[in-house]
Amino acid sequence: MEKVILAAPRGFCAGVAYAIEVVNLALKAFGTPLYVRHAIVHNEHVVRSFEQRGVIFVEDLAEVPPGATVVFSAHGVPPAVRQQAAERGLRVIDATCPLVSKVHREISRFARQGYHILYIGHRGHVEAIGSMGHAPEQVTLIDNLAEAEQVQPPPDRPLAVATQTTLSVDEVNAILQVLRRRFPHLELPPKEDICYATTNRQAAVKALAQQSEMVLVVGSRSSSNSNRLREVAEAQGVPAYLLLEPHEVQPKWVQRYRTIGVTSGASTPEESTEAIVGELLRYSPNATVETLQLMEEQIEFIPPRTLIAQAMQGR
């Protein structure tokens, strides 16, 4: 290996940074035990670091004692979960990514207007479950091109579409092409649902793949956007691997490829990427490291003022 090229942008998006900051503020404001429903973001390192500070992650609110404090993860929850939290008297702090909340509002608005909603997303993904739960009787999930060809929505209802925020841009466009052909009057949301960070990171990894002989995506196997980055790189015709720990780096990669591209998913801390690059350089200490900067990101989400104030008092 002669060169490592780092993609930019990579790593944390504004929604992940927001969710992590919300949990940090909640710890300062209310102390422990602090409960979080589902992994706050899909990254084992982030989850473990919070567990070491007394955060308890649960999948079901039944595991949270009545009256306790619970944070909803960045992926969002269906209204039924909010109702359950109210019935258990839980103090709720919402770390849902604002761009996921935007999709929730769109689905609710379409449902109120009598639309049937075709939701493009991955079956079983926690974000998809949360979004579809805003109008469960009026939403049909479409997971792939075959389902787009076969779906039979109610014939007497206007149709709208909504999308999981972390999907492959190219995959969604292909599915939308099928849906538009089959349902010419399909209504789209005012702004696309795939979030800016997903779009930017996929554009950056495409450019990275064109300059690299192999691409490594640093991220969790449970992370939808990290998996999509690997697929996007692979679609450019280069071998691509998803990994999280330095010990997963294979010495043969460094021997075989002169230029290795590295990027990371939107829920991956920069330290994880640095550890992977460090491992590559351990095998090839004379290699250079450069950055391929495709664009700058300026977006930032500010946590609720009330939570910031409570954290200041909690200190």
Length of the chain: 315
Contact 127, 156 (CB under 8 A): no
Buried b (16+ CB within 10 A) or exposed e, 256-280: ebebbbbbbbbbbbeebbebbbebb
Q: Are strands 214-218 and 240-243 parallel, antiparallel or unpaired?
A: parallel
In the annotation, is 297 catalytic? no
Judge whether 151 and 131 are in contact, CB under 8 Å. Answer: no
Q: What is the CA radius of gyration of the chain?
A: 21
Distances (CA, A) of 63 to 43, 56, 69, 116, 256: 22, 10, 12, 34, 49
First to last CA, the chain: 49
Beta-bridged to residue 70, according to DSSP, are 35, 92
Query: Rounded distance, CA 86 to CA 84, Å?
Result: 5
Of 21, 106, 127, 279, which residue is the catalytic one? 127
Residue 160: strand pairing partners: 117, 187
Would you name the residues annotated as active-site residues? 127
